Amino acid sequence: MPRPHRRLASTCIGTVTAGLLATGAALAAPDEEQPKTPADTAMGAYLDYGPRGVARIPLLSSWLGGREIRVGHTYLPGDRWSGIEGGVGFLEDWAEWRQAKQDRMFVLNVPMQEHNEGRVPDAQVAQLIRAGADGAYDHHFRRLAERLVDLGVPDTVIVLGWEMNGVTYTHRCAPDPDRWKAYWRRIVNTMRSVPGQEFTFDFAPNRGADAIGWTRCYPGDDVVDIIGMDSYDQGPGRTFDDMVTQPYGLQHQVDFAKAHGKRVSYPEWGLFRRGDNPEYVKRMLQWIDEQKPVYHTITDYCPHGVWQCKQNPRSAWAFRKALMPQVPGPVVPTPVVPTPVVPTPVVPTPVVPTPVVPTPVVPTPVVPTPQIPLPEIPVPKPSQAVPTPVVPAPVSPVPAEPSQAPVEPTPVPVKPTPVPVKPTPDPVEPSRAPVEPTPVPVGPSPENPAPEPAPVPSPSVSPHAPSPVPSPVPSPVVPKPQPQPTQPPRPQRPSPVNSTQWCVPINVGEWLSKLVGKQSVCITLDWGADSGFWPW
């Protein structure tokens, strides 16, 4: 690639105003096919080595439609060891930019020799390589490491001895590859020995064989973190496919990195020998999108650039379209096409008659009410019974006032005339005990008229009481009626003397008596004079 002094000089040539550049004027019409944007890859550009490079980053971002520039890329001057040690003022500007956001990346190209672009012959280069491998320059790189740590960028990506397989720089590898690898290892171990460092070392040859196959310069996996490649639009190879498949080309880089467990990067890429070549730009961006490198930075000054170099308008348009964020266009509302409503024919549901299943009638069994038979009270039929003869009680005569001398009465026999008595039922309380019939003087009644009394002479008063034993033929003396004692509230009709009806109460128990009442059995006897049973 161009020498650093040419790169520094070109920054002053063809400078245009930032506003005019940001407009993207004079850009060619875009091609139909646009490359994809590597979305997850940190992108940047080399815009200038010092403060102007830092100031141009937001302008490039604006030109790209707000695309974030995450990689700041610059170079240390290789003309003096003081510059390689970091004794330059612009590192502070890059350190401040890096610290502004956590996801930013600071990439710093570090020469391995002073007079790095002085066209030093191979024999002298070999002597310098051997001196470096012996440790003659360790102190220069230790100072650089301490400087970066002090500036607050200990995680800087160090592209050490870039394009070592070419013929341009004094730190090239071809004069003594083995000693060169030892020199690389010594630099890396020296910088890693500084406390606080977190450096990442990127091994980045030119694409193609160039002066030596770059794999011969590979110093080892323990001192390399990333395997990069600088790839400009130049030979070897005439097409982009040649750049991919050629020995030590892009595919070889990817395969080699995979074999060593490393990720890839593209610290420098851009236009060169073939001028404004948008095909190269599109294909390179597509390749980057496929490989997902750690980062990539385009060299943006003439003849390599697309933003600061107006001689490549078509390539600039391809680059810009590929990296601009995809802004969604206006939302065109989709016309709502009403769906025709097809009426669904109403199919009547056939009514299936439900068969009437007769409910079986279970006859309720008739439980007969138990009939409690009432005991039949036998009604006794009147029967002939022999009555007990009524013996009249002896009556003591009441002494009367003697008006004359006592006269002994002469007994006159009177034959009693039997009086028929109609039997009348006499209700008797069933609870009471049967009462023996007591001869009671019977008074005249309509049914039983009393016989006419026979005249009886007044008896004389005898001082002696008559004997209680009656004579064989007693005189029928009609006793004086005696007052009867008052009966209870339910008086009984007295049975007539010498009645032919006899009633006997029946005791059928308390429960049945309550149910049927108090009952008695009555019988009627005919003791007429002609019956032959009358005792008198």
Q: What is the CATH number of the domain that holds 83?
A: 3.20.20.80
Higher pLDDT, 529 or 369: 369
pLDDT attached to residue 505: 72
Indicate whether 271 pLDDT > 50.
yes
Examine the fold and report which residue of 275, 304, 323 is the final residue of a domain before the chain moves on. Answer: 323
C-alpha closest to that of 459 among 483, 484, 444, 480: 480
User: In this predicted structure, what is the pLDDT of residue 426?
Assistant: 45
Q: Residue 512 sits in which domain range?
A: 497-536
Range of 317-326, 361-370, 440-449, 459-468 with top mean pLDDT: 317-326
Three-state DSSP at 395 gives: coil
Decide if 410 is inside a domain.
no
CA distance 118 to 512: 158
**Interhelix angle 51-63/91-100, nearest 10 degrees:** 40
Lowest mean pLDDT, pick from 318-332, 377-391, 399-413: 399-413
Percent of the chain with pLDDT over 90: 53
Arithmetic mean of pLDDT, 329-349: 69
Beta carbons within 8 Å of 46's beta carbon, 6+ residues apart: 53, 73, 74, 75, 268, 297, 298, 299, 300, 301
Number of domains comprising the chain: 2
Residue 307 is assigned to a structural domain of this protein: yes
Structure-token pair, residue 242:
């040649």
State which amino acid sits at residue 223.
Answer: V
162 close to 119: Cβ distance less than 8 angstroms: no
**Using CA atoms, how far apart are residues 475 and 232, in angstroms rounded to an integer?**
192
Report pLDDT digits (tens) over 6-65.
444 444 444 434 444 444 433 334 344 444 444 568 999 999 999 999 999 999 999 999
What is the per-residue pLDDT for 503? 72
Residue 517 lies in a domain: yes
Quick check: 82 pLDDT over 50? yes
What would the mean pLDDT of 418-442 be, rounded to a whole number? Answer: 43
The pTM for the full model equals 0.58
Q: 209 Cβ partners below 8 Å, 6+ apart?
A: 165, 236, 247, 248
Per the domain annotation, does 452 fall within a domain? Answer: no
In this prediction, residue 450 carries a pLDDT of 47
Report the range of poorest mean pLDDT among 14-28, 105-119, 521-535: 14-28
- Provide the pLDDT for residue 372: 62
Distance CA 182, CA 188 (A): 10
What are 378-399's pLDDT values in tens digits?
Answer: 555 544 444 454 444 544 444 4
List, for residues 276-304, the tens digit of each pLDDT value. Answer: 999 999 999 999 999 999 999 999 999 99
Instruction: Give the separation between CA 483 and CA 441, rounded to whole angstroms.
Output: 11
Residue 408 lies in a domain: no
In the structure, what pLDDT confidence band is assigned to residue 366 with cuts at 50, 70 and 90? low
pLDDT at 401 over 80: no
In Å, what is the CA distance from 240 to each residue of 4, 236, 295, 314, 392? 26, 10, 20, 17, 177
Select from 269, 299, 323 the last residue of a domain: 323
pLDDT interval class at 500 (50, 70, 90): low
Q: Tell me if 311 sits within 8 A of 302, measured CB to CB.
A: yes
Q: Is there a domain that residue 266 lies in?
A: yes
N- to C-terminal Cα distance for the chain?
191
Q: pLDDT above 70 covers what percent of the chain? A: 56
The pLDDT-based confidence of 434 (bands split at 50, 70, 90) is: very low
Least confident of 85-89, 281-285, 325-329, 490-494: 490-494
Task: Please give the structure tokens belonging to residue 479.
Answer: 């006793």
Q: Is the pLDDT confidence value at 374 over 90?
A: no
Which CA distances in Å does 71 have to 8, 68, 103, 336, 344? 20, 9, 9, 48, 66
Mean per-residue pLDDT of the chain: 76
Is the pLDDT reported for residue 90 higher than 70? yes
**Is residue 475 domain-resident?**
no
Which of 297, 323, 349 is at the close of a domain? 323
Phi, psi (rounded to 5 degrees) for 108: -125, 120
Q: Tell me whether residue 11 is in a domain.
A: yes
262 band by pLDDT with thresholds 50, 70 and 90: very high
Whether residue 341 is predicted with pLDDT greater than 90 in this model: the reply is no
Look at 466 and 91; give whichever has higher pLDDT: 91
Structure confidence at residue 447 as a pLDDT band (50, 70, 90): very low
pLDDT at residue 536 greater than cutoff 90:
no
Confidence band of 512 (pLDDT split at 50, 70, 90)? confident
* Helix boundaries (H) for 326-384: none
pLDDT of residue 120: 96
Confidence band, pLDDT 50/70/90 cuts, at residue 119: very high
115 has pLDDT over 80: yes
